[in-house]
Structure 1
Amino acid sequence: MNDSSRASAQSGDGAEALILASRALLGVIAKSLADTLHDVTLPQFRVLILLSASGPMRMGSVAARMGAHPSTFSRTVDRLVAAGWVEREINQDSRRETLLRLTPSARALVDGVTARRAAEISRILQNLTSEERLQVQKAMEVFASAAGEPSPADLLVLGL
């Protein structure tokens, strides 16, 4: 335990417990992604997550949300298109713009990761009593409310 962890644990603010819980959740996330990373890289999966959450988007907007230069990002999109994960289409509202859309196989990939994550969380929760599950649920709801909704950029770092 480092000095800041010791200080949090001694202060009684619950930070150490949340740090431990966050490590456990990161393990769940890593496990849910393990098989997927054989098919796509983490940066590519981040693109799929963004498109899954937002629907079709302009290529420039996706590049900006990813923090990538459009010309560099274009190569990533080329690889995603070639692999069958993303389709390009002309924006009917502005024919100069290219939209990116998930393919059904990409949707299945993202849904599979989400399902694996949910199954692992459910498996963990089954180790608790009903009362403990209710306590965890309430604590997570309170914590999420206090933390506020993370920005998409924050979530994209881990492919969430």
Structure 2
Amino acid sequence: MQATLAASRALMGVMARSMASVLDQITLPQFRVLVLLSTSGALRTGALAERSGVHASTLTRTADRLVRGGWVRRLENPLSRREVLIELTDAGAALVREVTERRAAEAAEILSRLSPEGREQVLAGFEAFATAAAEPTPQDLLVLGA
């Protein structure tokens, strides 16, 4: 368990450094919403709340802040005019790309310090951990209703 906690702290450090330049603009929960939208496309508020693990009312407040910041926009659902979709703006997509690229660069640099066998073991461990945590893959997020 100690190794898991140590790795978790290291990953939190990578995440914090990758977001350091944007934390004055957006919170971590708001960024999570942007990441979900970047992988799934426009979503209904209820579906986005479910995937975010929050109540719909909490997601509505988060979306309000993201709309004001120019990171997302609300759209009328073409399939049901009573429903509203939330969609990432170009600015929101750019923010997700920027943070993800920084995170990937630092992770690659850290992994480069390992032997090829060590890298394979770590990557296999990450995949197993993500599966056990039921973290949806980008492909899973593209399935309607997932």
TM above 0.5: yes
Mark the CA change 1:38 to 1:148 in structure 2 (over 3 Å): closer, same or farther: closer
1:32 to 2, 18, 23: 18
Question: Are the counterparts in 1 of residues 45 and 56 from structure 2 also a CA contact under 8 Å?
Answer: no
Structure-1 residue corresponding to 2:55: 68
Structure-2 residue corresponding to 1:149: 134
CA deviations 1:11-52 (Å, max 9, x no partner) are: xxxx32222222211211121122121221223222212222
Mark the CA change 1:139 to 1:47 in structure 2 (over 3 Å): closer, same or farther: closer
Mark the CA change 1:122 to 1:58 in structure 2 (over 3 Å): closer, same or farther: same
Rg larger for:
1
Return the letter of the residue paired with 1:150.
E
Structure-2 residue corresponding to 1:121: 107
Gaps of 5+ in 2: 138-146
TM-score, normalised to structure 1, is 0.71
Deviates more, 1:92-101 or 1:50-59: 50-59
Mark the CA change 1:135 to 1:69 in structure 2 (over 3 Å): closer, same or farther: closer
Map 1:99-110 → 2, pairs under 5 A: 99-110=85-96
Greater strand share, structure number: 2
Residue 21 (1) aligns with residue 10 (2): no
Shift of 1:78: 2.5
Return the letter of the residue paired with 1:149.
A
CA deviations 1:53-96 (Å, max 9, x no partner) are: 322111233244442343x5434322221221111111010011
